[in-house]
Amino acid sequence: MTPTQIQIPKWTTPEFERLVLAANPKVAVFDCDGTLWSGDSGSGFMVWSIEQGLVSRSTSDWIDTRYRAYLAGNVSELEICGEVVQIYAGLRDQELRAAAAEYVKEFVAHRAFAEMASLVARLHAADVAVWAVSSTNKWVVAEGVRAFNIPEERILAVEARIVNGLITSEILDVPTDEGKAASLARVGLNRPDAVFGNSIHDLAMLEIARCPFPVNPSPALLEAAARRGWGYFVPQGAEGTPAAVGGE
């Protein structure tokens, strides 16, 4: 049975805000790509950073091959998300922070969904602890959610160990699929009050939420939401556009 054959409510902006605030959350967790803003900033930053010459030719050739294999279904989401960060091993953490700031300013900031920015602002005003969980690298996520006033200590994203200011190839966390729920559990959020996500890769953390809120859902997440009796919300800026692939 397809989502179109199952009754699933699509919330208007006032309905969506009312439902979220009526839940009286103390903790709210947001996916980023496709949920707070449109597009896939993880793969976008990868391509942009290669074009900027931040990684060697041999490394860029290797990750290009791996990413093509991922798109063909031969490399897992978990693997590729970690490998896209490992290509920066040997570079300075500060260099990647600066690069991420430049990339977000040029390519991400203008794609933020106004309705989501408004909602997050209202949650902050109500003293809700707002978290960001993403399988995009932490450098980009930290810059992207800066406009949403989400502090770095409440960001769970793909992260490499930093030693003496240098990025290593050791991956500390890859929050995707069940890993998003696991990452939340590690910081004591076994059942967050409200969770927002757009992709099937967000399903595991939506399922542990007291109140799950699919936003701009991909077809796979829409079907899963329909089967679970959830509703969904589509920001105006996302109307008529597909949800981000991967939905990091």
Looking at residue 147, which CATH number applies to its domain?
3.40.50.1000
Q: How many domains does the chain have?
A: 1
In a domain, 22, yes or no: yes
- What mean pLDDT is predicted for residues 224-247? 74
Q: Is the pLDDT of residue 243 over 50?
A: no
In a domain, 52, yes or no: yes
In a domain, 12, yes or no: yes
Q: How confident is the model at residue 244 (pLDDT cuts 50, 70, 90)?
A: very low
Nearest to residue 29, comparing CAs of 174, 161, 148?
148
Q: Is the pLDDT of residue 239 over 60?
A: no
Q: How confident is the model at residue 246 (pLDDT cuts 50, 70, 90)?
A: very low
Q: How confident is the model at residue 6 (pLDDT cuts 50, 70, 90)?
A: low
Percent of the chain surpassing pLDDT 70:
94
The span from the CA of 136 to the CA of 41, in Å, is 7
Q: Is the pLDDT of residue 62 over 60?
A: yes
- What mean pLDDT is predicted for residues 85-91? 97
In a domain, 244, yes or no: no
The residue segments making up the domain with residue 22 are 3-238
Chain segment 164-214, per-residue pLDDT in tens = 999 999 999 999 999 999 999 999 999 999 999 999 999 999 999 999 999
Q: Is the pLDDT of residue 160 over 70?
A: yes
Decide which of 240 and 184 is more confident: 184
Q: What rounded mean pLDDT belongs to the chain?
A: 93
27-30 and 10-11 beta bridge pairing:
unpaired
The span from the CA of 2 to the CA of 6, in Å, is 7
The span from the CA of 49 to the CA of 88, in Å, is 10
Chain segment 132-157, per-residue pLDDT in tens = 999 999 999 999 999 999 999 999 99
In a domain, 245, yes or no: no
The secondary structure of the chain in percent helix, strand, coil, rounded to multiples of 5, reads 50, 20, 30
The span from the CA of 243 to the CA of 112, in Å, is 14
Partnered with residue 233 across adjacent β-strands are: 11, 215
Q: Is the pLDDT of residue 240 over 50?
A: no
In a domain, 217, yes or no: yes
In a domain, 15, yes or no: yes
The span from the CA of 172 to the CA of 80, in Å, is 14
Q: Is the pLDDT of residue 217 over 50?
A: yes
The half-sphere exposure of 76 on its side-chain side, counting CA atoms within 13 A, is 8
155-163 and 166-173 beta bridge pairing:
antiparallel
In a domain, 200, yes or no: yes
Q: Given this model, what pLDDT does residue 51 score?
A: 95
The span from the CA of 184 to the CA of 89, in Å, is 26
